[in-house]
Amino acid sequence: MSAFGAIFAFGHVPTRRRVQTDSMAREYQLQTRLFVARDLETTFGFFSDAANLQRLTPPWLDFAILTPRPIPMQEGALIDYRIRVHGIPIRWRTEIAEWQPPHRFVDRQVRGPYRLWHHTHTFTPVAGGTLVEDTVRYRPIGGALVHGLFVRRDLEGIFRFRQEEILNVFGVAARDPITVSIQPVLV
């Protein structure tokens, strides 16, 4: 059977699978996992107070919450921030897109430095404590070039700081090595 006959008979054109490389990516996924030797309610309670985001953000970002406090955490809540990225002031607004205490919440960027920012926070009770996981799908302005020059390194540092500070807040040691994984996403 000819190639044309195969296409006609089976209704599709065979394609080669495209391999996604970091230089081709438009979207990325960041993941962290951290065991906290505290119960689920205590751990989630800390994260449910938006004011604690200040403590989990590295000082070099000059982070400030602009929304008047206290901020009622619930689906639809809007939170405005100001940060400095490499000295450039940036305003950022996030919306709490999902709120499922004490297991999960999702914040998404409404306005800010990314084309896409979708951050899922997951809290799972495990023997002796809580597994805290972050999954962030993001698309940087400037694409793969800017990601390679700045964004990847910045996010790795920010989330490493965040994990270390979570351990400090709860006064516990890391059970496993602190890791921040960033992978390109095929879109």
The pTM of the whole model exceeds 0.75: yes
pLDDT, residue 80, reads: 98
Q: Where are the domains of the chain?
A: 20-49+96-185
Which pLDDT belongs to residue 186? Answer: 81
pLDDT of 142 reads: 92
What is the pLDDT at residue 1?
43
Q: For 3-45, write each residue's pLDDT tens digit.
A: 434 433 444 444 444 444 455 668 999 999 999 999 999 999 9
Q: What is the distance between the alpha carbons of residues 183 and 25, in angstroms, rounded to a whole number?
A: 9
- Considering the segment(s) 20-49+96-185 as one domain, its CATH architecture is 2-Layer Sandwich (3.30)
108: exposed, middle or buried (Cβ count in 10 Å: 0-12, 13-18, 19+): middle
pLDDT at 25 (0 to 100)? 66
Low-confidence ranges of the chain (pLDDT < 50): 1-21
Q: How far apart are CA 117 and CA 107, in angstroms?
A: 8
Using an 8 Å Cβ cutoff, are 99 and 75 in contact? yes
